[in-house]
Structure 1
Amino acid sequence: MDTDERIARDSVVAAARDLDVQGLNRGTSGNVSVRFRDGLLITPSGLPTARMRPEDIVPMGLDGTHPPDQKPSSEWRFHRDILAHRPEIGAVVHAHPVYCTAFAMCGRDIPAVHYMIAAFGGPTVRCAPYAAYGTAELSELALAALVDRNVCLLANHGMIAAGASLEKALWLAVELETLCHQYAVALQVGAPVILSDHEIHATVKRFRGYGLNAPARA
């Protein structure tokens, strides 16, 4: 293992642990991948983040091949397919945070109830229809929900965030859970006002060039 690979593996372990620290995940349910050379590095199946080591991270080719003595996350298909179909994406995060998953359990898209939705690429966050975890069908549905977007919900399952880097993917995951939390509270207060597609598309353009973070919430 050379220095670059060690750094990449360390970053995947750190990102997986950060999901727990941020309250986005519990136990062994989340998974993280990062593009590396001609393939990707992905968290292993069924290993709690507290016990995860760089050596446990599984290298995988874009053809799905991996060392026979290592078992990648059960969700490796959509990680691999997102990275294969979206060259601008460098990392993928999947988790089951409470508010994202609550809306996913209802099969609901998230509308433009806050301008920060523009950080995800458009005026909605789509909820992909249900398919069993780890299947090619789920991967296809996730790719469709991510067209022109960098996040989506998975019905009765959880969420995906994809970014140019692990740092960006994690930031997007936190922002999505925050938005879903705010929307859930707003629905209890009354009828949230939906911003127009025109306003959100204009905000998407304003967000470009800000690097990792969109403008701070006001």
Structure 2
Amino acid sequence: MSGSSERALREEIVAYGLKLTPSGLSQGTSGNLSIRCGAGFLVTPSGIPYGEITPEDVVFVDMDGRYDHPRRPSSEWRFHRDIYAARPDVHAVVHAHPPYSTALAICRRDIPAIHYMIAVSGGDSIRCSDYYTYGTQELSDAVVRALDGRMACLMANHGMIATGANAEQAMWRAVEVETLARQYTLALQIGTPVLLTDAEVTQALEKFGNYGLMSKQTATPTH
């Protein structure tokens, strides 16, 4: 990858990092994001407020977990690496702690097919991974399992992850997952949510596939 291309990706991480708090996805320095880059990935540094991160602060980590940078990568770099290793279709990852997704994750609930927008997950649910301590290989393995055949997941007692063909799509998906989590939480307070049938979910997935949501498109379509 050329230096100018890597610079553009670094700038993209900075730009999307600035959107995490206004979008309601994160607070303070919580959460992290990455973009696949050459033989590794670029990831936000550890412990720096998003408003203070510069392109030079973004850390390149190779697929062996090595980095040569004065900044430390996010403590969650392992699951970023392992998602990229397991999923060649994924080119960007957003991890955040938004309130409704995290509340459901604390209850260790999957998000079922409550709305046709469940198709953003690439399947009929958004799974909740098992709980392990943050930054560990065990957590990374659990996340990869929860993302099998999916583009997003919740993380037990922790938060959520959304992936995409690019940073724009991963961020868009993260916002949609939090919206679904909020809708599900409200519906549970009213009564018993009525779930879509398998046929209805399949139809939604097919329509979303035609829009290009599950493919390597640069744009994220409206609905």
**TM-score, length-scaled by structure 1:** 0.96
How far apart in 2 are the matches of 1:67 and 1:171?
Answer: 31
Query: What amino acid is the match of 1:52?
Result: I
Structure 1 residue 214 displacement after superposition? 5.1
| Runs of 5+ unmatched residues, structure 2 | 213-218
Percent of aligned positions that are identical: 52
Q: Any idea what SS the aligned residue of 1:8 has?
A: helix
- The equivalent of 1:140 in structure 2 is 141
Q: Any idea what SS the aligned residue of 1:152 has?
A: strand
1:89-168 matches, cutoff 5 A: 89-168=90-169
Q: Any idea what SS the aligned residue of 1:27 has?
A: coil
1:5 and 1:143, CA in 2 relative to 1: closer, same or farther beyond 3 A? same
Larger mean Cα displacement after TM superposition, 93-102 or 64-73: 64-73
Q: Any idea what SS the aligned residue of 1:209 has?
A: helix
CA contact (8 A) 2:168 2:220 kept: no
1:193-204 matches, cutoff 5 A: 193-204=194-205
How far apart in 1 are the matches of 2:136 and 2:104?
Answer: 22
How far apart in 2 are the matches of 1:111 and 1:214?
Answer: 23
CA contact (8 A) 1:119 1:214 kept: no
Q: Any idea what SS the aligned residue of 2:29 has?
A: coil
Q: Deviations over 1:134-193 (max 9, x none)?
A: 000000000000011000000000000010100000000000000000111111122110
Q: Any idea what SS the aligned residue of 1:181 has?
A: helix
Provide the aligned C-alpha RMSD in A: 1.2
How far apart in 1 are the matches of 2:69 and 2:37?
Answer: 19
Query: What amino acid is the match of 2:86?
Result: H
| Runs of 5+ unmatched residues, structure 1 | none
Structure 1 residue 208 displacement after superposition? 0.8
Q: Any idea what SS the aligned residue of 1:208 has?
A: helix
Structure 1 residue 125 displacement after superposition? 0.6
1:178 aligns with 2:179: yes
How far apart in 1 are the matches of 2:103 and 2:66?
Answer: 34
- The equivalent of 2:216 in structure 1 is none
Larger mean Cα displacement after TM superposition, 195-204 or 38-47: 195-204
Structure 1 residue 81 displacement after superposition? 0.5
- The equivalent of 1:19 in structure 2 is 20
How far apart in 2 are the matches of 1:119 and 1:76?
Answer: 24
Query: What amino acid is the match of 1:213?
Result: T
1:4-83 matches, cutoff 5 A: 4-83=5-84
1:68 and 1:3, CA in 2 relative to 1: closer, same or farther beyond 3 A? closer
Q: Any idea what SS the aligned residue of 1:41 has?
A: strand
Query: What amino acid is the match of 2:186?
Result: V
- Structure 1 runs of 4+ aligned residues shifted over 6 Å read none
Query: What amino acid is the match of 2:89?
Result: E
Structure 1 residue 215 displacement after superposition? 5.1
**TM-score, length-scaled by structure 2:** 0.94
Q: Deviations over 1:190-209 (max 9, x none)?
A: 21101112221221111113
Larger mean Cα displacement after TM superposition, 176-185 or 206-215: 206-215
Q: Any idea what SS the aligned residue of 2:186 has?
A: helix
CA contact (8 A) 2:59 2:69 kept: no
* Residues matched between the structures, number: 216
